């Protein structure tokens, strides 16, 4: 076989092989990039539409509850303390219930109801369900008192679930960290994309005009 023809065949084979490798790399990269984009978008949605608002409401609730404790002149306050309240203390407690506790708990409930698909994990955490029991049972008893005059203990039969607050805030922080990591990976994929584009342009340049590429 003529040497010129042999060189041409080898050159064509090497070129075709190079295009195949580039195509496979580009295809794998594109699938990886799409997965990262989907994960980043979903986590951003979780933060913006569920866990961010939940975290804000819970942290706000801490402050307003402390304001109630200060108003009552106490160092701490638990549900069972309500049973020994004076008339003035009970009035202050019920004011906070109607003006602060219930409106905030209702917002939390609506977030969980409308954004259930954004809850982290395969199942709704037990503490979330305990929160719903805490609020719903209290709300029903309170409404009966208002509308029918049927007295109750002035607090929920189920104590405030501290674990619910811990779970929400922990998940909020975890999602923020995961989102930051994904944003870093997205930046790396953009850099890799530029390199692949450079390789494609390099392959299309005449041999005499090619420059050495550093990765």
Q: Each residue of 189-214: pLDDT tens digit?
A: 655 454 545 545 544 555 444 443 33
What distance in Å separates the CA atoms of residue 100 and residue 37, rounded to the nearest whole number? Answer: 39
pLDDT class for 57, splitting at 50, 70, 90?
Answer: very high
Amino acid 213: pLDDT: 35
- pLDDT score of 21 more than 60: no
Exposed, middle or buried, 171 (CB in 10 Å: 0-12/13-18/19+)? buried
Q: Kindly compute the dihedral angle of the four CA atoms of residues 105, 55, 63, 130, in this order, to the nearest 10 degrees.
A: 40
Q: Each residue of 65-86: pLDDT tens digit?
A: 999 999 999 999 988 899 999 9
For residue 167, give the nearest of 138, 210, 117, 131 by alpha carbon.
131
Amino acid 189: pLDDT: 61
Residue tagged 């960290």 (tokens):
177
Amino acid 4: pLDDT: 72
Q: Each residue of 25-56: pLDDT tens digit?
A: 565 656 667 787 888 999 999 999 999 999 99
What is the reported pTM? 0.74
Residue tagged 């209702």 (tokens):
106
Residue pair 171/54 in contact (Cβ under 8 Å)? The answer is: no
Q: Each residue of 128-162: pLDDT tens digit?
A: 999 999 999 999 999 999 999 999 999 999 999 99
Q: Each residue of 91-130: pLDDT tens digit?
A: 999 999 999 999 999 999 999 999 999 999 999 999 999 9
Cβ-proximal residues to 191 (8 Å cutoff; 6+ apart), any chain: none
């Amino acid at each position: 076989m003529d040497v010129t023809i042999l060189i041409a065949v080898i050159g064509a084979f090497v070129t075709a092989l190079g295009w195949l490798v580039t195509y496979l790399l580009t295809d794998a990269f594109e699938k990886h990039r799409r997965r990262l984009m989907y994960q980043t978008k979903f986590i951003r949605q979780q933060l913006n539409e569920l866990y961010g608002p939940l975290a804000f409401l819970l942290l706000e609730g801490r402050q307003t509850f402390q304001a109630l404790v200060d108003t009552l002149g106490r160092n701490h306050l638990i549900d069972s303390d309500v049973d020994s309240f004076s008339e003035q203390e009970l009035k202050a407690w019920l004011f906070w219930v109607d003006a602060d506790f219930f409106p905030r708990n209702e917002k939390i409930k609506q977030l969980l109801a409308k954004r259930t698909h954004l809850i982290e994990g395969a199942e709704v955490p037990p503490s979330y369900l305990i929160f719903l029991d805490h609020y719903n049972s209290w709300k029903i008893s309170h409404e009966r008192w208002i509308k029918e005059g049927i007295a109750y203990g002035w607090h929920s039969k189920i104590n405030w679930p501290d674990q619910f607050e811990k779970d929400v805030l922990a998940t909020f922080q975890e999602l923020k960290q995961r989102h930051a990591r994904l944003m870093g990976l997205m930046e790396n994929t953009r850099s890799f994309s530029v390199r692949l584009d450079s390789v494609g342009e390099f392959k299309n340049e005449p041999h005499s005009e090619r420059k050495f590429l550093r990765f």
